[in-house]
Structure formats: structure tokens, C-alpha cells
């Protein structure tokens, strides 16, 4: 954990020491941080980046027209750490466009996204880098941990839900995305841009950017674009991002709205339309149609399409994943996670393997 009570003066002294004693020169990594009205959190966020054990970083901060003291705090760090670059938008354009601005200015061989109200553990970039080099992968993903300082019941419940998901998705190893496993891609990775290291060459070669709109659900569309180019994806079990959930965030405000689910589906359709446009432009007709059919089968994106009766009943019988689904509802699910550890779900309820054995024996 990072002691957020340390003074900026103390941190600046640490920065000097870090820069004077760099580790062996390695590839440049671009850390992209959009900033908008996060004066309470920006200090902790920036500290976690500048004090990384991996030193060869360029830290690209995008001011999306903040009207609080976020940038004033950041500028104090800029005077002491030349790795930090500040780019200012003339008007508020949103998270997706801010990340695109960062991508356009990034010079690193690898890209790491971080939201300015979150922070990262001090050795995570080095661990991600070592894994992506060892596996020669296109993307490497770490785990995460959600937390909050709010006592709102809905917020606390959301933290628990996120942590359950992060725990289920924690794994070690790598997987080559292809048509054979693409229909399960929404089970393989949590749909966020942050917490991962991307190979810049992979992003540039495939012209992968975020939707150019101020919209929520931007991560989901970016995720579809990434997966459509069949990357080699690596995983580490280490917790990388400390994911802050707060009541006044854009996402929380949307979720707290009584029409939130309807709004989210509407926004999801927009980002998915943008992703499908990208896939169509970067693939031949046959491959595009095949990818689109696969996306229709996913649990998250399937509802964004008009009803397709051929997808209402789905049976998958695969060694590492068996599923029976009717009307988009999983009736039965068996999934091998790691080392023959299995997850069983019946009507959405997770059942332990030992429980099934006892029921069968009785």
C-alpha cells in the first residue's frame, strides 16, 4: 500500500534517488493517465507511477479541462520529474478521447493505461514487462482489487462484486485467441483497458483506438477491437491496479440512475457499432461475418443485437468449457480454471465440485 500521507517534498526526494540510480535500461513504456477533477486522488495516483521499480517510463497526463486543483498538484511533480508530460484539451472530450490523445503522443514500445482516481502497486509494471517479454505476447493482464472509502450500501456491494470477478479471473499463463475460443472471450478477460500492458506495434499495426466520443462503456468497444485481431494474451496473478469505486464517479452516477440498465445497453450498442465498423474495415467480408457471429454469442454483447433465433439455444461441449444456454440464460456451466480446478454453475449458481459429488453419491 502507498502511504498517501507522505508530503510532496518527501516524494520529490525519492524521485531524485530513483532517477540517479536507474535499473538496467529497458524498453520505454508509455503510461497514459487522463485527468478530470480528481484533486483528492491525483497525488496518490502519480506517486504510484513515478515510484515504480521499472524506471524507463514516459508518463503522459491529459488534462481534460479540469476545473479543480488536479493540474496544480500535477505541475509540482512535473518540475521534479521530466518523465511526466502534460497535454491539455481545449474542451472536455471524455475518457475515450483523452486516451486516444495519449496514444497519439506515446513513443513507448509498450502502453499502460491508468485512471487518475486509481493507483498501482509499485512493482506491477516491471512484472508485466517481464511477462510480456518472456511470452512474446501482445497483451499481458494483471489482477486488480476494488476498494472504496464510501459507506454507501450499493457502493460497498459493487466493490464485493468486482473483487469476486477479479478473483475468478486471476490466472497465470497465456492463451492464443482464435476462432476456436473467441466465443468465450468475455470469460477470459475483465473488460477494462487499465491493468494491462499492450505492445504498441500490435495496436498500431491493427489501428486500434478508442471510440472517438464522450461516452461510457468505451472500454468494452476497445476490448472487442483488441480481441478481434487474435492477440496472444498473457496473465499474471499479481494485483496491479487498486480500483477505486466512488459515489460521484461518472460510472456510479450512471449505475445509480433508475434507467441505468437501459442507458448502459444503449451506450454499449454505440461502442459495439464502432467496434464492428473497425472490424469490417480491417478484415475481409468472410472473416468479418464470422467474427460478428462470434460476438453475438457472447453474454455481454449478445443482447445488443436483434434477436437471432439460431443463438437462442446454444450448447458448447469443449474439454475446458461445457455450457448449455437457452434464451441467453446459462442452465449449466462447467469450466476448467487451472490445474483441473473446475467451476460448476447451475442456473447461475456456483456449486463446488465436492457438493456435486456428495449429491450424486446420495
pLDDT at residue number 309: 47
Q: Is 3 left (phi over 0), alpha (psi -120 to 50) or beta?
A: beta
Find the angle CA(143)-CA(335)-CA(330) to the nearest 5 degrees. Answer: 105
Low-confidence residues in the chain, pLDDT < 50: 1-8, 10, 14-15, 17-24, 252-256, 258, 309, 359-360, 362
pTM of the model: 0.78
Domains assigned to the chain: 8-247 (3.90.550.10), 312-362 (no CATH)
- Exposure of 319 by Cβ count < 10 A (0-12 exposed, 13-18 middle, 19+ buried)? exposed
How many CB atoms are closer than 10 A to CB 275?
Answer: 24
Closest residue by Cα to residue 339 from 165, 190, 177, 172: 172
Dist CA 86 CA 88 (whole Å): 7
Dist CA 230 CA 214 (whole Å): 27
**What are the pLDDT digits (tens) for 78-135?**
999 999 999 999 999 999 999 999 999 999 999 999 999 999 999 999 999 999 999 9
pLDDT at residue number 340: 56
**What are the pLDDT digits (tens) for 239-277?**
999 999 987 655 544 444 545 667 778 888 999 999 999
Amino acid at each position: 500500500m502507498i502511504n498517501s500521507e507522505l508530503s510532496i517534498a518527501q516524494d520529490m526526494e525519492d524521485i531524485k534517488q530513483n532517477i540517479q540510480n536507474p535499473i538496467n535500461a529497458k524498453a520505454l513504456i508509455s503510461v497514459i493517465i487522463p485527468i478530470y477533477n480528481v484533486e483528492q486522488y491525483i497525488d496518490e495516483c502519480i506517486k504510484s507511477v513515478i515510484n515504480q521499480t521499472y524506471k524507463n517510463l514516459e508518463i503522459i497526463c491529459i488534462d481534460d479541462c479540469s476545473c479543480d486543483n488536479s493540474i496544480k498538484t500535477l505541475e509540482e511533480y512535473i518540475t521534479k520529474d521530466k518523465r511526466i508530460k502534460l497535454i491539455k484539451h481545449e474542451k472536455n472530450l471524455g475518457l475515450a478521447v483523452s486516451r486516444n490523445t495519449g496514444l497519439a503522443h506515446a513513443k513507448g514500445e509498450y502502453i499502460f493505461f491508468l485512471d487518475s482516481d486509481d493507483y498501482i502497486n509499485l512493482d506491477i509494471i516491471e512484472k508485466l514487462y517481464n511477462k510480456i517479454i518472456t511470452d512474446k505476447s501482445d497483451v499481458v493482464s494483471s489482477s486488480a482489487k476494488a476498494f472504496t472509502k464510501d459507506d454507501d450500501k450499493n457502493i460497498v456491494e459493487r466493490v464485493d462484486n468486482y473483487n469476486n470477478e477479479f478473483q475468478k479471473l486471476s490466472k497465470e499463463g497465456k492463451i492464443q485467441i482464435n476462432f476456436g475460443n473467441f466465443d468465450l472471450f468475455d470469460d477470459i478477460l475483465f473488460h477494462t483497458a487499465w491493468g494491462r500492458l499492450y505492445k504498441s506495434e500490435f495496436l498500431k499495426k491493427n489501428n486500434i483506438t478508442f471510440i472517438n466520443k464522450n461516452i461510457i462503456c468505451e472500454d468494452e468497444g476497445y476490448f472487442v477491437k483488441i480481441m478481434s485481431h487474435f492477440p496472444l494474451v498473457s496473465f499474471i496473478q499479481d494485483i496491479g491496479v487498486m480500483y477505486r469505486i466512488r459515489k460521484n464517479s461518472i460510472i456510479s452516477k450512471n449505475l445509480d440512475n433508475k434507467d441505468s440498465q437501459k442507458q448502459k445497453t444503449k451506450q454499449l450498442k454505440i461502442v459495439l457499432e464502432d467496434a464492428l465498423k473497425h472490424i469490417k474495415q480491417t478484415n475481409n467480408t468472410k472473416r468479418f461475418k464470422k467474427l460478428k457471429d462470434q460476438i453475438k454469442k457472447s453474454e455481454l454483447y449478445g443482447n445488443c443485437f436483434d434477436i437471432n433465433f439460431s443463438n437462442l439455444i446454444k450448447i458448447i461441449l469443449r474439454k475446458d468449457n461445457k455450457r448449455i444456454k437457452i434464451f441467453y440464460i446459462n442452465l449449466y456451466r462447467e469450466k476448467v480454471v487451472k490445474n483441473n480446478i473446475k467451476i460448476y454453475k447451475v442456473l447461475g449458481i456456483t456449486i463446488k465440485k465436492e457438493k456435486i459429488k456428495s449429491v450424486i453419491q446420495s
